[in-house]
Amino acid sequence: MKKLFIAIFLAFFAIISVAPYVHAADEFVLEYVSRENVYYDGIRQIKAVANMSLNGDKQPQVFSYIGVNTKTTPYKVIASDGYSPYTYSMQPLTYHVENTMNKYSQLHVAGGVNADFYDINNTGRPSNIHVTNFEVINKGSTNQTAAGFLDDGSVVFGKPTFLGQHLNILNADKELKQRIKINKTNALPASDIELAVFYDSYKLEIPAGLPKVIVKSSDIKVAGSTVQYAKGAMLQRTTEAYTVKEREFVLVGKALQDENLITSTDQIIVQELLGNGFENTRFAIGMGDALVKGGVVQTTFNHSSAPTRNPRTGMGVLADGTIFFVVVDGRDGASGRVGLKLNEFAHLMKALNAVEAYNLDGGGSSTMLLRDAETLELKTLNQLSDGRMRSISNGLLFVKGDYEPVFTPIPYPDTRDKFNAPTGVYVDDEGVLHFVGNNEHASYVLKINGRETYLTKESMSLLLNAGSYEIQVKVKGDGTTASSDYSEVFTYNIHKQDVQKILDLMRQLA
């Protein structure tokens, strides 16, 4: 029997002989031996066995493809990682999925691939830019192409400009109260209008006199000796002399005399400000060599592996906005898995109709996951050339669900009126939450026993274990109207027999 929440599912299998794709300029021929197509909840999966020939050099290949139009479906692409506070790290892609769903409880991960190159021998830090939910976790190379993913499902390719580190002050609703440029790091401000930040690498005493905000950090990311990103909450403010303690950072400047600018409920983030089209990218990640640009196959590659055949991972975009990932098996010639040179990979991406395509980390890092339509478990689609799933720095995932608005600029001081709080909160016999919200601004925060989830509708199926739950809802603010108060508490008790009733109903619907 199908598991819970299998959406409309269509599967068909076709083992077919396909007319070869020929690119006359380079005499590239792609001839399928077999090609299997499966559609899982709107995502197209291809498993292909083929012979590929570039200028007469014919080799057997096996590759996997997953793709979906993120402009016309509920799917989006996010950048994933398995980082812990204060470190970059390397984790298997399955861990990335788990970490993503823990961080963003409203998102469901359908599948994805490994992504950027990284420091495999030491820190696990990605080689290039890494942005998650508008937070610039890593700056990386300043001259490297990146892909930025917007909330409307579109993707922008380019070289982001870096406009310097800025202090971002977010209120309790994650709205942007103020953004202020950081002028100095581990050095005193040179004037009354400058703002400085000191980290625990600064061992001297910061002298008395200037206003200081002491921040207890929840995360700091360092590359070499350079702080890439810092996040925390105010511990105290003082004008006295102060020495930075471990896992703290200190903001210093005349602007901090305003005691309402930073409060104990605010979130403080120091990070790079992005430009050149990346200002509004919620997620961004570094790309490798361009394979296809403007529909044209590229011929010049910088990566050292370009002339050798290896497992490959790549990302492409079709003319209609479909984003797809490809993983090519390799390092197993005995089973017809030879792997590709980069020029061959470029031709394959063009043959798959990419108008833009980029190489990602390959070799033993190449990994592709997709949920099984019957079990809903994540399944590895490619042959792992290491014989196991390698731990990697970051990935790209297809997800469904509502994004939580963050970094929305608001007036300071905040003089906005509040939305009215939702009313009529209840849960029906099928375990579906209902409430009366705001018809003109359907943006809500649902809080269940203190844990918050973002919603864009006035109903939601609750998959909860037996127990007692306190439920509240509020309307999320925007740039002109502040968030409402939370609704009155609705207490929801679930008994074991109720859980079974809901499960039985959902099975019937599936």
Q: Quickly name the fold that domain 416-509 has.
A: Immunoglobulin-like (2.60.40)
CA distance 240 to 457: 50
Which pLDDT belongs to residue 498? Answer: 60
> Contact at 8 Å (CB) between 410 and 479?
yes
Which pLDDT belongs to residue 509? Answer: 59
Q: CB atoms < 10 A from the CB of 226, how many?
A: 11
Q: CB atoms < 10 A from the CB of 177, how many?
A: 20
Which pLDDT belongs to residue 151? Answer: 96
As a whole number of angstroms, the longest Cα–Cα distance in the chain is 78
Which pLDDT belongs to residue 502? Answer: 59
Which pLDDT belongs to residue 495? Answer: 85
By CB atoms closer than 10 A (0-12, 13-18, 19+), residue 143 is: exposed
What are the structural domain ranges in the chain?
A: 20-74+289-391, 165-273, 416-509
Nearest partner of 80 among 405, 454, 401, 393, judged by Cα: 393
Which pLDDT belongs to residue 20? Answer: 64
Per-position pLDDT tens, the chain of length 510: 344 333 333 333 333 334 566 655 789 999 999 999 999 999 999 999 999 999 999 999 999 999 999 999 999 999 999 999 999 999 999 999 999 999 998 999 999 999 999 999 999 999 999 999 999 999 998 899 999 999 999 999 999 999 999 999 999 999 999 999 999 999 999 999 999 999 999 999 999 999 999 999 999 999 999 999 999 999 999 999 999 999 999 999 999 999 999 999 999 999 999 999 999 999 999 999 999 999 999 999 999 999 999 999 999 999 999 999 999 999 999 999 999 999 999 999 999 999 999 999 999 999 999 999 999 999 999 999 999 999 999 999 999 999 999 999 999 999 999 999 999 999 999 999 999 999 999 999 999 999 999 999 999 999 899 999 999 999 999 999 999 999 999 999 998 766 556 556 655 655
Q: CB atoms < 10 A from the CB of 363, how many?
A: 19
Which pLDDT belongs to residue 322? Answer: 98
CA distance 155 to 37: 25
CA distance 501 to 510: 14
Does pTM top 0.85 for this prediction? yes
Which pLDDT belongs to residue 481? Answer: 97
Tell me which amino acid residue 196 is.
Answer: A
Fold agreement between 165-273 and 416-509: no
Which pLDDT belongs to residue 508? Answer: 63
Which pLDDT belongs to residue 500? Answer: 59
- Which two structure tokens, joined as six digits, stand for 496? 């074991």
Select 165-273's CATH number: 2.60.120, 2.60.40, 3.40.1840, 1.10.3470. 2.60.120
